[in-house]
Structure formats: structure tokens, C-alpha cells
Copies of this chain bind each other. A is one copy, B any other.
Amino acid sequence: MREYEIYELLHRYGIKTPRYKVYEIDQEFYFDHFPAVLKIASDKVVHKSDVGGVRVGIHSNEELQQAKREIINNLQNNSIFLDMNDRFIVEEEVHGVEFYIGGIFDSIFEEVLLFGKGGVTIEIERDICYIDSEADEPEILKSFRTTKISKIFPKFRGKEYKIAYVIDTIEKFQKLFTHEDIVEFDINPLVYTDEGFVAVDARVKTGQKSRAPRRQRSFDIFHNEKVAILGATDKPQKVGYALAKNALQSGADIYFVNPRLSRLFGKRVYKAIQELPDIDTAVIAIPSRYVLQSVEELAHKGAKNIIVISAGFKEVGNQEAEEELTKMAEHYDLNILGPNSLGLYNGDKELNLTFAADSILPGHIGLISQSGAVLSALIDKSLSYALGFSHILSLGNMADFDFADAIETLQNKRRCRYINLYAEGLTHGKPYLRAIRKSAKPIAIYKAGKSEEAKRAAFSHTGNISGDYEMLVGLSYAAGAIIKKDIDELVFSSLYAEKREALIVTNAGGPGTILTDILVSHGKKMASLDEETIQKLSAVLPPTWSKNNPIDIIGDATSKRYKAVLDIVYDEKRLIFVIVTPQYMTDGLNIAKTLLAYPNAVPIFFGEERFKEAFELFKEHKRIHFNDLENVANIL
């Protein structure tokens, strides 16, 4: 498309361009919006500027005529001779802050807009945000506010900048990109003017868009009344043993299947799927080559939820078998979890259908993990601090059931209060974003695979391309998810999620300063002390105490002084951090014992050798505690 044809396309969607006129090669100029630019528009000229095909700063129709002669001369010097198919375009010069808008049709997220600072050095500055084509006004704003250039709105250096123009322009481009056969476009610059954004330089690439279809599901994956376990075994070193043992802990009806076994844990073992009574859920832990056949038989038996523990599919290059699974899920209307899954945990019935070696405590975290190993680690950690789960889904290779399905499923689970995701890559981007948008529960996400090296590592292990980190994180954040920087946060951040105001009690100023930095950078507000509290504290503290939050109770503080202060400031609604550094008079163990009476205070014992017993005590009481300031971020 020639530039003026793109201008016409933009106009159809209400997007402004500079006022312009197209002239035939021998037509006389008459233009009245100066200063103006004259450009050649010819299929023979690709890079106009390189051959002298552009002239700026024109102030009158006479100068236009003069500029035209110059351009024709320049072109002739480059052996380009114009004919009747060529055109001249005159357009007004547009000045203002330069923005950029672009669009890409991504294999996972489909139409995605990029918006931010424009100009010639755009790829170097990268002050750009990602905006989904389905994002509404608040989501557009949330995304845009992650850019630096957004700070000129609503006012900068005495000039007004209307955020409504941003919304309006992006909405128009969302419409254009969705309705037209465009797979890529760039507008740079998109100039901010007092009348709105004006698209000055435009490039468009047309093409076919192929979209990944998405299934409708009719059955709840957590409907698990009658459960068959294929591959249940009496060999303790096999996962089928762990699965059988874990499953039996709950009240659900469990049926074991194994052709080479008669009884297991005092229960009958079925030789074949055909022998089973009606079931709704099946867990498959048999060699991969038997999986497809079994899924088919289970489907005929009426099973709706199939959890494929077995590995040996996409992640080892067995793409074909994996695709077969996807097709079967669709054909028989199944929920297939996995393959290469650790299983699921259904907290509503305390039904553990994983082969995790740890027991899983009931609680309020809904945890969705692509990696089974990461899930094992998080379960193991949660057990040490008595943290519980409402639901766990190990997605594995995601042949069928994916993140969007998982988020939607957890919406109507009453016990689930937090939805936490560990993601390496995604399959269906748009449904995933829609699920986040609609979620009534907070969604936190940790995304692995940021660097190029890490992406290669991820590819070799799960068969999932990690995808673009910035795009996934940017879109998820704008849609409403919380982005986590440390995997441990996926379980620990649920601990104090509701507490916004933070208070620090410390026996050393430096660490108080550092923790303040960490809290503020995680969006926590530092509580302020009122006059009454300050007076009360002054009555129990040495005169040199800080009179401020962080409450510096001075290096010689013993457990008695910590107790006196906590008795005054302790408040269930606040996030209270107690920093203890190993100074000369510090009685770590006694301070630890004191803290047991204040369950909401978070102990940070910044040391190691002299705090060994204190740490033992906290572990014994399954109390979260830290020996490092930076790690406190894990619970924020």
C-alpha cells in the first residue's frame, strides 16, 4: 500500500493523519496548510529520503513548485524518471511529542498492540507497553501507565496532555487491527497534537490470521466422586504407588487398575478398564505407549476427567501422540490434564490425586503449575510453614486443559481465595487474558524463562516455547494479575496479603532503612506513629530511640524491650516486622520465644550463627521467619 492509501484506511476508522493532498505528476499545487512537506509517491522509489524524494519546511505554493523541481532533479540524478502513474503528496507538517503504535499478530496472544514513545531511537529506548486488542479503557490505562512517557499526562511543562486521546486512539486501532486482514503495522511517529493523535508515517503488512480454536467444557475437573488409578502398584519406588496411597487418604471411591496385581492396600485391583464400575475421573500412570488406548477405553466407560501422569509426549519429541490426546479430549468431551502432570489436589474433599511425596494441607491457595517439580518444591515448603491449599493443578504439557481453563474452574470454588500460577509458556493467550479479567479472586503469576539462554533451556525440557517474557508479563499485569519475581511468593504471599500498612521494630537503623526500601518498592505503605503512641513508646525506650517508623529500639535491646514495644504497637491489621541483628546484648532465643505470643509479627533475624536456636524454635512452631532482608519480598 502506498502511504496515502494507508491514510485512507486510517480515516475509515476515524484515525487522524496530517491534512494532505495527492497531485498528479503535472497537476498544479494548491495547498493552504503551511508549513508543509512534499513527498514523491512512486512504486519506483522505496526509500524516499535516500534519493532526495522529500522536502520539508515549505511555506507557500510558490515554494512547493520550487521544491517539486528540486525533487525531480534529485530523482533524475538517481536515474529515476517519473511517469503518469506517479504522484506527489503535499501534507502539513505536524509537530508535537512523538509516540509509536504498532501491532503484531502473535501465535499465542493473536492481535496485540504496542504503544509508547516514538521517534527514530524507539528500538533502543523500548519505552513501550503491550495492549491486548480486547483491553477496555481501564486496562489500556493500566498498561500505558507502565511507560515513562505516560508521565506527561495530564500535564507536563505547563502544557495539557489529554489521556482521553490515548484511549480514543488505541480503541480505534484495536478495531482496525481486529477487522482488517492486517498481521503487522507500525505508525512512527504518531504525533500528539492539541486536536488528538496524528499518524504521520505508516507501514502495514496484510495477511491471513490463523487462530487457535478453543473448546467449550461441560464437566468440572474437580468433580471426582469415583476415581480409577491406572498403574497403581505395590512397588514403593514407582509413582503409581504414591498415587494409590495419596488417593486413599480421602473419602472418595478409589478403584485401582493393574493387570499384574490382585490386591493393593486391602482393596481389589481391577485387571482392565472394562471391568471397572462407572467412574468420573481417571489417573493414568502407565508407560506412554499405552496411554492413548486407555484414554479411549476410559472415555467409553464414561470418565470425564483424565489426569495423565505419564511422560514421554511432546517433551521428548513425541508430538504425534500429544496431538492425538488433544483430539481425543475434543472428540469425547474430556478434560485431559497433562500429560507429564504431577496430578491434582481437590481440597473440597481433601482428595490428593498427585504423586507428591509430601502430604498436602487443606487451605485457601489455588495453585496452578506447569512444572511438576516446582509444584513439589512449593508443596514441600508450604508444609514446613503449615500453609494449605484449596486446589492444585499440575498442567504439565497442556495437551488439553490449560491456564485459562484452570483459572475459570477456580472461580466458583468457595475455599479458593488466591489463584497462583507458575507458567513457562502459554497455549491460548486470549482466553487466558479473559479469565484473568473476569476473575473475582487475586491472580498472581511467576513466569520462567526471561533470557535467551533460559528460553533454550525451557524448550528442551517441556516442549513449550517460553514465549516473550515481556509480552506475557505486560499483558497479564494489565489484565489484572500480580507479577511475582520469586517463585516462593506463590505460596508465601498469601500469608499477609490483606495487610497494607507496615511497621518495623528493629535494634539497628541500617537494616530498618533497607527493609523500608524493600517494602516501599513492593507497594506497601509505611504506618505513621501518632503522638500518643510515641509518648507510650518513649516511656519504655531509651531517649535515643528513633521516634519514627522504623522504630529503632537501639542496639542493646533485649527480649524485654521487644516485648514492651510490641505490647504498645501490635495490631492484627498491620504487617509488623521485627528485625533482630546479633549485637552484643542480643538474646536471640529469648526474643524468638517472646515473638511466639505475637503470631502476626514477622521475625527477621539478620544473622546465622548466634540465631541457630531461634531458627530451630521458629521451625518447630512452623513460623515463617527470615535470616535475610531481601527475602522478605517473598511474603509481599
Interface of A toward B, CB cutoff 8 Å: 35, 57, 59, 63, 97, 117, 120-121, 124-127, 148-149, 151-152, 156-157, 237, 239, 242, 311-312, 315-316, 355-358, 370-374, 376-377, 380-381, 383-385, 422, 424, 448-451, 453-458, 460-462, 466, 485-488, 507-514, 516-517, 520-521, 526, 544, 546-548, 550, 552, 555, 581-586, 606-612, 619, 627-631, 634
Which of A355, A448, A544 has the most chain B CB atoms closer than 10 A to its own CB? A448
Which one of B117, B462, B609, B634 contacts A383 once the chains associate, using CB atoms below 8 Å?
Answer: B609
Q: Within the complex, what minimum Cβ distance (angstroms) separates A270 from chain B?
A: 23
Bound CA span A584–B453, Å: 28
Set of chain B residues within 8 Å of A488, measured between Cβ atoms: 628, 630
Q: Is B630 a contact partner of A373 (Cβ separation < 8 A)?
A: no
Q: A57-B57, A374-B581, A628-B488 are in contact. Are A454 and B514 (CB under 8 A)?
A: yes
Cα separation A612 to B381 with both chains bound (whole Å): 11
A-B pairs with beta carbons under 8 Å apart, 5 shown:
A454-B514, A457-B512, A458-B509, A486-B628, A488-B630
* CB atoms of B520 and A460 under 8 A apart: no
With a cutoff of 8 Å between Cβ atoms, the chain B residues found around residue A608 in the complex are 380-381, 383-385
Given contacts A125-B127, A239-B584, A357-B610, contact A457 B384 (CB under 8 A): no
CB neighbours (8 Å) of A151 from chain B are 124
Q: Are B124 and A370 in contact (CB under 8 A)?
A: no
Taking a contact as CB atoms under 8 Å apart, the answer to whether B316 and A453 are in contact is: no
Most B CB contacts (10 A, CB to CB) among A156, A380, A520 go to: A380
- Picked from B381, B520, B609, the residue with its CB within 8 Å of the CB of A609 is B381
CB distance from A33 to the nearest CB of B (A): 14
Please give the distance in Å from A294's CB to the nearest CB on chain B: 21
Cross-interface CB contact of A610 among B358, B449, B460, cutoff 8 Å: B358
Whether B451 lies near A516 (C-beta < 8 A) is: yes
- Contact indicator A461/B552 (Cβ below 8 Å): yes
**Residues of B contacting A607 with CB < 8 Å?**
376-377, 380-381
Question: Given the complex of chains A and B, what is the CA–CA distance between A598 and B552 in angstroms?
Answer: 43
Closest to A384 in B: B608
Are A374 and B511 within 8 A (Cβ)?
A: yes
Q: Which of B374, B456, B611, B628 contacts A380 (CB under 8 A)?
A: B611
Q: Which 3 A/B pairs are nearest by Cβ-Cβ distance?
A: A461-B509, A373-B508, A371-B510
- The reply to whether A460 and B584 contact each other, CB–CB distance below 8 Å, is no
Instruction: Decide: A374 and B485 in contact? CB cutoff 8 A.
Output: no
Do A550 and B457 touch across chains, with their CB atoms under 8 A apart? yes
A513 and B582 contact, CB distance less than 8 A: no
Q: Given the complex of chains A and B, what is the CA–CA distance between A457 and B577 in angstroms?
A: 15
Chain B: CB-nearest residue to A582: B380
Chain B nearest CB from A588 CB (Å) reads 10
Residue numbers in B under 8 Å from A57 (CB-CB): 35, 57, 59
> Max chain B CB contacts within 10 Å: which of A148, A449, A584?
A584
Give the docked Cα–Cα distance between A228 and B294 (Å): 84
* Closest chain B residue to A311, Cβ basis: B544
Separation of A358 and B374 alpha carbons in the complex (Å): 37
Q: Are A514 and B357 in contact (CB under 8 A)?
A: no
Would A120 and B148 count as touching, CB distance under 8 A? no
Q: Are B97 and A449 in contact (CB under 8 A)?
A: no
Cβ contacts under 8 Å, A242 to chain B = 584
Query: With A and B bound together, what is the CA distance between A422 and B509 in angstroms?
Result: 13
Q: Which residues of B contact A126 (CB under 8 A)?
A: 148
Q: A373 contacts which chain B residues (CB < 8 A)?
A: 507-511, 555, 581, 583
Q: Which residues of B contact A454 (CB under 8 A)?
A: 513-514, 516-517, 520
A359 — nearest CB in chain B belongs to which residue? B609
Find out whether the CB atom of B124 lies under 8 angstroms from the CB atom of A582. Answer: no
CB distance from A537 to the nearest CB of B (A): 14
User: In whole Å, how far is A202's beta carbon from the nearest beta carbon of chain B?
Assistant: 18
Q: How far is the CB of A394 from chain B (nearest CB, A)?
A: 11
A59 contacts which chain B residues (CB < 8 A)?
Answer: 57, 59, 63
**Shortest distance from the beta carbon of A508 to any chain B beta carbon, whole Å:** 3
Check if A548 sits within 8 Å of B460, measured CB to CB.
yes
Given known A511-B377, A544-B316, contact A453–B526 (CB-CB < 8 A)? yes
How far, in angstroms, from A610 to B242 measured CA to CA in the complex? 15
Pair A485/B630 contact, Cβ less than 8 Å: yes
* Chain B residues within 8 Å of A125, by CB: 117, 125, 127, 148-149
Tell me which of B121, B520, B584, B634 contacts A149 (CB under 8 A).
Answer: B121
Asked if residues B582 and A358 are in contact (CB atoms below 8 Å), the reply is: yes
Which residues of B have CB within 8 Å of A585?
237
Known: A121-B152, A380-B608, A630-B486. A462 touches B157 (CB 8 A): no
Which residues of chain B are near A449, meaning CB under 8 Å?
513-514, 517
Contact, CB under 8 Å: B456 / A548: yes
Least Cβ distance of A146 to chain B in Å? Answer: 13
Partner of A422, one of B458, B510, B521: B510
Chain B, Cβ-Cβ closest to A243: B584
Q: Please state if A156 and B117 are interface contacts (CB–CB under 8 Å).
A: no
- Take A380-B609, A548-B456, A628-B486 as given contacts and tell me if A97 and B117 are in contact as well, using a CB distance cutoff of 8 Å: no
Contact B457 A548 (CB under 8 A): yes
B contact residues around A514 at 8 Å (CB): 448-449, 454, 487
Q: Whole-angstrom distance from the CB of A496 to the nearest CB of chain B?
A: 18
Contacts of A627 in B (CB 8 A): 381
Tell me the bound Cα distance from A449 to B509 in angstroms.
Answer: 11
